[in-house]
Amino acid sequence: MFRAPLLASVAALALFSLPLAAQNAELGAQRDAVFQQMLADPSNRSLMQQYAQLSVQMRDFEGAAATLERLIDLEPNNTAARVELAIAYFALGSYAVADYHLAAAQASGALSPDQAARVARYQEESTERGDGTELDGRIEAGLAFPQESGDNGAFFNANLDYRFDLGDANVTMWVTEFAYTNYQPDDGSLNARQSARLRTGPEFRISGDAYGPRLQPYIELEWLDRDPTLTISYTSVAVGAAYQNPINERFTAYGDLQFGRANATDATGVDFEFHEASLGLTYRPSRDTRFRLSAWVEEQRDVDVATPLATNISGARLSAQHAFNPNFNILPNRWVAGGFVQLQNTDRSGSGTMSSFEDQSHGAFVRAFVYEDIYVETAWTQVMQDNVISGVAGSSEESILSVQLGWEF
């Protein structure tokens, strides 16, 4: 019964992507036109700057860097071009070269206040990455308002990513990721939950370049705590391998495979073994636009019990987001708008019984950066489920509105 809403949300996401695709096609056409003019007038400095700016918007940082190098050879005192060149090298992972151009721009004394603040931010980030360490993350706190259940409550999310350069020729990094979430409805609902996940292991950059495959063998620890009567509270340990391949400035492929065991901390005490595989592809047609498609399968099997259950999970998710500067000045910084659609199937069988769950969800968000890395976000999500339990069909639906304050660093 939920096929129509799901198809409607897919259509809405497609409509969301159409103007973005048109915008990116327009950028490509503009850049091609400027390139043709450059062929006819190769020393035209204005055309060089236009071409470089369009290349950055389309994430062709190598093309931007090559053009800006030529421009700076002709205009050594062009501070704006030098700042853009530093940013292009930063995006390519050439932090030492980026530092050189950032320092030259700062020493020129010709930076505007906005340019000076921008240079300072890139210098700080480049220094952190250049010294072999990098810390990125996001912290969010807000309120969720489910419309049907009324389980209103506060939530908190934190995601941290710490990288340490091991110093070998292939730019091997030791990567540690940590995620924590806490949702506490104000009525003591069974939906209250806490979870934490820690993943750590070396990441081998096989090509030794900004682009090319990277492989991370890892160990992962997870803890989930919900009401014991729900029988889904556990601790787990898993080993796996994560694959990431920035193919070029537009496409990045992902893969992940893990095996593990979970030990129940609820009243049932039923432990289970699991294995999971996932694949994904990100497409970034421009600096401000991103699409991501991902799919996953997981199998869980009870252990050490007389009548074990087997659980099979499969799903797919399509998401898109676009950053932009609004045409009004209520808030001074950038905005991000996005949406997603997701479908997941869960089948449980064993002891002569079988149950299945089809979960469909879709949503949208608007994020407004009110000051540099501080933002306010409003999101709406609809979650729907069709289920069959011991031959009896049922369904449920929930709409959730959330408001949160976040810090991205």
pLDDT, one tens digit per residue, over 99-144 is: 888 888 888 888 888 788 778 878 877 776 666 778 889 999 999 9
Contact 384, 363 (CB under 8 A): no
Q: Which residue has the higher pLDDT, 23 or 250?
A: 250
Contacts of 318 (CB under 8 A, 6+ apart): 10, 13, 291, 292, 293, 340, 341, 342
Q: Can you tell me which residue has the tokens 């401000």? A: 288
**337 secondary structure, DSSP code:** E
Q: Can you tell me which residue has the tokens 């292009």? A: 88
Contact 305, 294 (CB under 8 A): no
Q: Per residue in 370-407, pLDDT tens?
A: 887 899 999 999 999 998 887 788 888 999 999 999 99
The phi, psi pair for 112, rounded to 5°, reads: -75, 165
Is residue 77 exposed (0-12), middle (13-18) or buried (19+ Cβ within 10 Å)? exposed
Residue 160 structure tokens: 């941290």
Rg (CA), the chain: 25
Contact 177, 160 (CB under 8 A): yes
Mean pLDDT of the chain, nearest integer: 85
3-state secondary structure of 210: coil
Whether residue 12 has pLDDT greater than 80: no
The helix (run of H) or strand (run of E) holding residue 114 is helix 113-130
| Cα separation, 253 vs 214, whole angstroms | 10
Q: Per residue in 157-166, pLDDT tens?
A: 999 999 888 8
| Cα separation, 71 vs 81, whole angstroms | 8
Q: Per residue in 344-366, pLDDT tens?
A: 999 988 766 788 999 999 999 99
- Residue 104 has a pLDDT of 87
Q: Which residues are registered as beta bridge partners of 408?
A: 138
Q: Which domains does the chain have, with CATH numbers?
A: 3-130 (1.25.40.10), 133-408 (2.40.160.40)
- Residue 371 has a pLDDT of 80
CA distances from 153 to 183, 185, 239 (A): 7, 4, 34
- Residue 129 has a pLDDT of 65
Q: How far apart are the first and last CA of the chain?
A: 42
Q: Can you tell me which residue has the tokens 């900004």? A: 210
pTM above 0.75, yes or no: no
- Return contacts of 103-108, CB within 8 angstroms, 24+ apart: 105/79, 108/77, 108/79, 108/82
Contacts of 41 (CB under 8 A, 6+ apart): 47
β pairing state of 234-246 and 251-264: antiparallel
